[in-house]
Structure formats: C-alpha cells, structure tokens
Amino acid sequence: MRTSSPTGPAAEFSVVAEGLRKTYGDKHALDGLHLEVPRGTVFGLLGPNGAGKTTAVRILATLTRPDGGTARVAGHDVRSEPRAVRRRIGLTGQHPAVDEIMTARQNLEMFGRLFHLSRAQAGHRADRLLEQFGLSDAAGQQPKDFSGGMRRRLDLAAGMILAPEVLFLDEPTTGLDPRGRSEVWRAVRELADTGTTVLLTTHYLDEADRLADRIAVIDRGRNITDSVASFGGRTPTPAALKRAIGGDRIEVTAREAADVPGIVKAVARVAADGSEPEAEEGTGRVHASVPSGEGVAALTDVARSLQEAGITVEDIGLRRPTLDEVFLTLTREKQEAAA
C-alpha cells in the first residue's frame, strides 16, 4: 500500500468530510456523508449511479457548497478557504475537458497559463507531463485524432499542471475500451507513486480493486461501509470488502440440462461451510462460495470430479464479487443492523 507518514492527526488525512449534506428539491444527494482519505493513497468511492459520488466530489473540489456538515481538503476548509483548496487540488471530470483542435502540447500550455504560469514555465511543465503520461510522441497531434485512452491521459495531465496534493477523478474510465482503461490505470498508479492523493469515483469494482488502497461504498448519499460491524469502523481495503461478501465463488455452466445434478454434486464437495450450491433454473449455471484462500484448489477439484464423471461443461471458473453483489450485501447488513 502506498502511504505517507506525516505526524499528527491533522496530517494523517488529505480529505476529511463529516456529515456532508446536499439537497436538490426533495432529493437528498448527500445525507450525512462521512469520509476519511489517508494521505498518499488511492481512495475509491464506489456506488451505483445516483448514489451521490459526483456531488461529493463537486463539494470537495469547491464547485458546490454543501447544505450541512464540514469538509477539509489538504488541510483547508472547503467553505471558508475555497481558494486555498483550489490551489492544492486537481480535478478530472467524467468528460474530457481538453480542446480537440489545439495540439496536446498547446492544451497543456494553455492550462498552465490559466494557472498563471509564465510562458516558459507552462512550456516546461507541458513537456514534463507529456513525458510522464507517455504522450511525448503525440505532442504535436490534435486530441480529436487520439484514442479514448490517450485523450483521457491528456485530460489527467491537464489536471496535474500544478502538481496537486489531491487529485479528484470522477468516473475516469467511463466509455473506454479495455486498452484505454489499462492506460488510464497505469497513469493513475504512477501519480499515486509520486505522492499525490487520488480520490476516484467509479462503479467498476475491478477498477477499484486494481487501483484503490481503501474503498468506501455509498448509497443515497451515505457511506454504508461506516456502519458495517465487520469493518470495525474503518474504511475497508478491497480485500476486506470482498471478504465481507464471501470472497471468491466457483461457477460452472452446464452444456446439457441433464448434467446439472452431477455438477451440483461436484461443486458441493468444495462449497464453503458445507453450503448447498445454487443452481439457476433455465441457465444451467451452478455456483457456490469457496473457503477463503482455497479457490484454485477448489476449481481443480471440481474440474477433476467432472472429468471423472464424464461431464462436459460450457464454462467453469472462479468469479470475484460484482459491485452489485457488494452493494446488495452491504445494504442488507445495514438494514439488519438497524432492525
């Protein structure tokens, strides 16, 4: 995990939000949101569309004023010290903000000048960022000719003009193909390795799993990981989040419906806590959770059993929890705790 070690509670977190509230008409976009983002980490803010992720980022970036609660970013209050906050942050929204006609280098120089760098400083900074984000060879090209991943990397570079302490990324890979997502992930990891605190919103669990040191799941404007007893009041790591809903599971899809009972028998041998595998009617899919750390062994065992039984399957593999499963499980635990 990427960490930094300043002393004192005020220096421990780059972002602290307590009881943030924001209402639009009769809709509570944020309803008492609490966040603590450790300095020098990548922090994933997960949740379905409409959960309040973008509203939270807009408040933390001083673009929207909260109706209640407090928030400090890089040690400064977003209400009373917005200019101090803005001098210490970068923001990349869901849609690229670069000009499609200007070249990549001209875009970065323009952003530098907007941040009051001299012409020479803006040019020097543009060259460094182009190199850092692997865009030096495309410096003279127009973003309209870039791939989605290249355009997004240029957008990230623009957000780093002043080398911010905190960088907010709102759904950074929405709409990108796998290659583009991989390019952006690599750029984000490199940013964090240089000491920048990154807060990213996403509804992709695999993205948060690859990038984030800590994860908060929000729904209806609240951090629903705060009240889950199994996390002990701490923001969970990706591994802890997956363990909370049972870790890996094995899934087998039958080629023939008649083979489903035999598949259930094979999977039952490795199911966690002796639980009965679930067979989905009409799909031929059989699945069950497996004991923590035993996924590969369980998969091998099931494959061997099926081979010995002469059963040919359409698909077999280990599956990680989806965000939908995480969200539904955490919501259920929250409801049970309140009952």
Tell me the per-residue pLDDT of 293-319, one tens digit each, with 9 for 90 and over: 788 999 999 999 999 999 999 999 998
Q: Is the pLDDT of residue 160 over 50?
A: yes
Query: What's the chain's average pLDDT?
Result: 86
SS3 183: helix
Among 66-80, 137-151, 211-225, 260-274, top mean pLDDT goes to 66-80
Distance between CA 303 and CA 313 in Å, rounded?
10
Rounded average pLDDT over 214-220: 89
Kindly give, in sequence order, each residue whose CB lies less than 8 Å from that of residue 57, ignoring residues fewer than 6 positions away: 45, 91, 168, 170, 199, 201
More confident residue, 247 or 190: 190
SS3 168: strand
Rounded average pLDDT over 17-34: 94
More confident residue, 56 or 282: 56
Q: For residue 231, what pLDDT is reported?
A: 58
The DSSP symbol for 182 reads H
Q: Is the pLDDT of residue 3 over 60?
A: no
Q: Is the pLDDT of residue 29 over 70?
A: yes
Rounded average pLDDT over 87-113: 90
Tell me the per-residue pLDDT of 242-282, one tens digit each, with 9 for 90 and over: 766 666 889 999 999 999 999 999 999 999 888 899 999 88
Question: Which amino acid, 45?
Answer: L
Q: For residue 269, what pLDDT is reported?
A: 92
Report the candidate in 252, 270, 262 with the shortest Cα–Cα distance to residue 315: 252
Distance between CA 159 and CA 162 in Å, rounded?
8
Tell me the per-residue pLDDT of 109-118, one tens digit each, with 9 for 90 and over: 999 999 899 9
pLDDT tier at 2, thresholds 50, 70, 90: very low
| Percent of the chain whose predicted confidence (pLDDT) is above 70 | 89
Q: Is the pLDDT of residue 291 over 50?
A: yes
Distances (CA, A) of 273 to 97, 260, 288, 319: 51, 21, 10, 18
pLDDT tier at 200, thresholds 50, 70, 90: very high
Give the β-pairing of 166-170 and 89-92: parallel
Report the candidate in 150, 121, 117, 146 with the shortest Cα–Cα distance to residue 133: 150
pLDDT tier at 11, thresholds 50, 70, 90: low
Q: For residue 311, what pLDDT is reported?
A: 95
Residue 167 backbone class (left: φ over 0; alpha: ψ -120 to 50; beta: rest) = beta
Rounded average pLDDT over 209-237: 77
Q: For residue 48, what pLDDT is reported?
A: 81
